[in-house]
Chain A
Amino acid sequence: MSERLRITGGRVYDPRHAIDGAIRDICIEDGRVVAALPGDAPTLDAAGLVVMPGAVDIHSHVAGPKVNLARRLEPERRTVPTVPDTGRLYTLLGYTTVFDAAVPLLGARHAHLELQDTPLVDKGFYVLLGNDEFVLAALEDGSDDAVRDVLGWAVRASRAYGVKVVNPGGGAAWKAARGTPGLDDALPGRRVTPRRILTALARAADALALPHPMHLHCSNLGLAGNATTTLDTIAALEGRRVHLAHLQFHVYGGEPGGRPTSRARELSAALAAHANVSADVGQVMFGPATTMTADARVGEMLHDLTGRKWVDADLELEGGCGVVPYEYRERNVVHAMQWAAGLELLLLSPDPWRLVLSTDHPNGGTFLSYPRLLRLLMDRAYRDEQIARVHPQGLEGTALRDGLAREYSLYEVAIVTRAAPARLLGLEHKGHLGVGADADVALYAPDANLETMFTTPRHVLKAGRRVAEDGAIREETWGRTLQATPPFDPAVERALGRVLAEAGSLSLEDYVVGADEIGAAR
């Protein structure tokens, strides 16, 4: 017997179908939105409630080796939730789809083990490439086709949804000799430059028609003056599709080695001028955070800055990672600037379909701070109160000083948390409530305090099931693991095998995640 539910009388926000608060019924059958239901179908009264598709997190860190190292690192603070709590807490905020942004090839099996144990949400990850011997060797041989096949193989072998490139070439150079190459500097002992890696992988992702373009963490994260790097990177891509991860961390002015300032305005203009570029903001939120990144240089920098404990790990034939506990403080001038820069990006955003929400959980703050971030965007009076609290020097030169009046509407919120990330990810059935959509739905009771409203949805539905209500899990279901399935020429396996035989500790088969290694563990 089919499962049916009619959500009646709610104010629906479905930007993909240009529905902006119209009173509509949403009909659900067997986990999908359908056009109509028989009159006797069960109903869920949504009168007075705001109805949105389930939210989609395009950039988070929720599964895999470095996330688990972070959990172990901080028994005293627990900033990084366990896997069961990750699924539950996301769901309780109305998020129903989550992507981990950085899993190395050799960590794919581990990441899938954690995803198997992650309840409720649909999930997936982007596999890391661009500092690995496989891509670098293919580029040395000079063939872009070879890079395309490495990418195809990597996505298939790891059962990833997309590809993530972190500090292209810079990770390899850092590991080899603490190098920080510019776009056109050859990597140590190689003929390959970061520009070549970038463009080859962007082209390969397009050639394979991956649902999500290359997901790029630009070079020089966190360093004064890195806005130039980011602008150069956009130029280097020459119009090819790219998603820039946690843009806020890449918009800094100032002298190299000095205190960073915000050049968010320029990056906003660049975003406006380049329709091929999308980004998630990587907002910094005051309070505890845990930095975790495949950009090992950043880990070392933060350890030196804080003196806090630090996990620094190298992965054979690939890059490595760094994990450092962190705390963003209102009265710290750099933190205030970072906070402001993220808000500038969002408030100056030329196109909400191309600049979406993230805190780069847990790097800029945990995903639990999303409701507060939404309030900052939607409620100018609240925002002004918060602006008055932070270190004034951090705001110097930012657009926040100009008294940005913009307030996000519920419609725009539905874009930056649902419709846009789903579209950028190529998820046809997510981020909207049209016929055929996955019946992932969040229903909110309007509240003058928008943080309150978004912290506790009245109801959350996942694949048509009522999984959460008023801040409590009602039913623990299991979502799907989302993967892309690009083609590749099997001949590439010979070349990969050669790399492994020369310098690895495992065989190619060890890298391949089986079909039986994904899906719910129970």
Chain B
Amino acid sequence: MRRSTVDGQPSELDAAVAVAAGLLRAARQPLVYGLLDSTVEAQRAAVAVARRLGAILDTPASASHAGSFRAFERLGAALASRGEYRHAELAVFWACGSDASELAPRPGLARVSVDVGSARGPADADTRLALEPDQEIPALLALRAFARGRRVDAAQAGSLPVEALRSLARRLVSCGYGVVVCDADPAPARRDACRADALTALVRECHRKSRVRLSGLRRGSNPVGAENVLTWLTGFPASVRFGADGPRYGPGEFAAETLLQRGDVDAVLLVGVEPEAHLSNEAAAQLARVPCVALGAVEREGARVFLATSAFGATAGRVFRGDGVALRHAPPQSSDHPSEATVLARLAEALAS
């Protein structure tokens, strides 16, 4: 069985937890980061630790989902649980696939793939529309203008496939039920501050005349759990600082990426995340220089303290499906290791003592 370690040396869990608590307490501005591959139980335990520490609490969504958070906060959303998609007559895959069997090919469902650069939708779509990356936002705006019954001047449209967009807009406003599927955790090169806003606004506009919903694909085991748990416990979905006057929200400001780049944190607690997969090289390099406590099923190189836990897949608990439905996660095999939630609870106790 894998052991917890302190400075690379095997350690009993309690001793390692005590060292971790001391390390985090000594920091001026600790960061608790991750919660992506964690159960709800571990996520709420991580919030308790962050609150007790006066830490900044963040998840990878602060980078990958930033545009979606902004769109939600400005406009709201038009959502449906995935079982609703069986009503769909039209599915528009906006530079992505789908995680819902309800949107697989079937009679009565027209499937359109909008491909942006190398980000392509399902290969078996009925219709395709190809856009260059710099045409993406203009295309979304043109669609929305068409959905509002406005025209678009050819002079301004440039190389946009105006007729194809006009036709797609017509289909969206006249279908009985449409679903627009998008990538809600795009890779760094595909991130854009206004795409999610433009998609949300488009869907809202179409919904005035038909019934259209937006489905955002998420990555990771439980990103929707993280934003839900953080919201009901702190009021905010990510990037929360527990300051003197309670939790404060700072999208961008309290995001791990910039905090690390600026050297504004001096200790890190990693929970349910492989940080290098979500941080820039600069931020990851800075992370390597900061004292680190890591929970996980795989030992983390260079962590001052490693606390061995069960893997997400072997941990019983609750998780949120991508569409926001909370489910019970019952692992096929159990683990000999304590869960993240258990270890975090011990850490919280150690911090209190």
User: A residues within 8 Å of B by Cβ?
Assistant: 63, 65, 68-69, 71-76, 78, 81-84, 106-107, 109-110, 113-114, 117, 309-317, 320, 323-324, 503-506, 510, 514, 517, 521-522
Contacts and interface: CB of A to CB of B under 8 A. Distances in A.
B83 A311 contact: no
A114 B73 CA distance: 21
Contacts of B328: 109, 510, 514, 517
B82 A316 contact: yes
Given A316-B83, A521-B41, 15 more contacts: A73-B76, A78-B235, A82-B234, A83-B232, A107-B326, A113-B229, A113-B326, A309-B73, A311-B72, A311-B79, A314-B213, A316-B86, A505-B81, A505-B101, A506-B327
B76 A75 contact: no
B34 to A, nearest CB: 19
B234 A314 contact: no
A117 B233 contact: yes
A312 B79 contact: yes
A117 to B, nearest CB: 6
B78 A312 contact: yes
B83 A317 contact: yes
Interface in B300-317: none
B231 A316 contact: no
Nearest to A323: B76
A82 B75 contact: no
B77 A311 contact: yes
The secondary-structure label for the interface of chain B is helix
Given A82-B232, A505-B83, A517-B318, A309 B76 contact: yes
B237 interface: yes
Given A117-B233, A311-B79, A505 B102 contact: yes
A357 B88 CA distance: 43
Contacts of A506: 83, 325, 327
Interface string B62-73: 000000000011
Contacts of B247: 82
A71 B231 contact: yes
Given A78-B235, A117-B44, A323-B76, A109 B318 contact: yes
Interface in B58-113: 72-84, 86, 100-102
Contacts of A514: 328
A504 B73 contact: no
Contacts of B227: 72
Given A84-B233, A106-B325, A312-B77, A113 B102 contact: no
Contact of A316 (B81, B207, B345): B81
A503 B84 CA distance: 8
Contacts of A316: 80-84, 86
B315 to A, nearest CB: 15
Contacts of A117: 44, 232-233
A385 B15 CA distance: 66
B235 A71 contact: yes
- Indicate the member of B86, B237, B324 with the most A CB atoms within 10 Å: B324
Interface in B248-286: 249
Interface in B180-228: 204, 207, 213, 227-228
Contact of B86 (A78, A315, A503, A521): A503
B76 A68 contact: no
Nearest to B48: A522
Contacts of B73: 72-76, 309
Given A72-B237, A83-B232, A309-B74, A314 B80 contact: yes
B176 to A, nearest CB: 9
Contacts of B83: 316-317, 503-506
B72 A314 contact: no
Given A75-B249, A117-B44, A314 B231 contact: no
Contact of A314 (B41, B81, B232): B81
B43 to A, nearest CB: 10
B240 to A, nearest CB: 10
A505 B82 contact: yes
A404 B101 CA distance: 61
Interface string B12-46: 00000000000000000000000000001100100
A71 B232 contact: yes
17 contacts: A69-B77, A72-B231, A72-B237, A75-B235, A81-B235, A106-B325, A107-B326, A110-B320, A110-B324, A113-B229, A113-B326, A114-B232, A117-B44, A117-B233, A310-B76, A505-B101, A522-B48
B324 A65 contact: yes
Residue of B82, B101, B325 ringed by the most chain A CB atoms within 10 A: B325
B322 to A, nearest CB: 11
Contacts of A84: 233
Interface string B318-353: 101000111110000000000000000100000000
Given A68-B231, A75-B73, A106-B325, A314 B79 contact: yes
Nearest to B51: A84
B44 A521 contact: yes
Nearest to A512: B328
Contacts of A510: 327-328
A72 B72 contact: yes
A107 B326 CA distance: 7
B231 A313 contact: no
Contact of B76 (A71, A81, A107, A312): A312
Contacts of B213: 314
Residue of A106, A110, A522 with most partner-chain B CB within 10 A: A110
A107 B325 CA distance: 7
A509 to B, nearest CB: 8
Interface centre among B48, B77, B227, B327 (most CB of A within 10 A): B77
A313 B79 contact: yes
B76 A83 contact: no
Contacts of B232: 63, 68, 71, 82-83, 113-114, 117
Contacts of A323: 76
A117 B231 CA distance: 12
Contacts of B324: 65, 110, 313
Contacts of B327: 109, 506, 510
A478 B13 CA distance: 29
B44 A106 contact: no
Contact of A109 (B78, B100, B326): B326
Contacts of A503: 83, 86
A115 to B, nearest CB: 10
Contact of B77 (A65, A313, A315): A313
A37 to B, nearest CB: 34
A323 B231 CA distance: 16
A317, A506, A514: residue with the most chain B Cβ atoms closer than 10 Å: A506
B339 to A, nearest CB: 14
Contacts of B100: 505
A205 B300 CA distance: 56
Contacts of A315: 80-81, 84
Nearest to A514: B328
Nearest to A84: B233
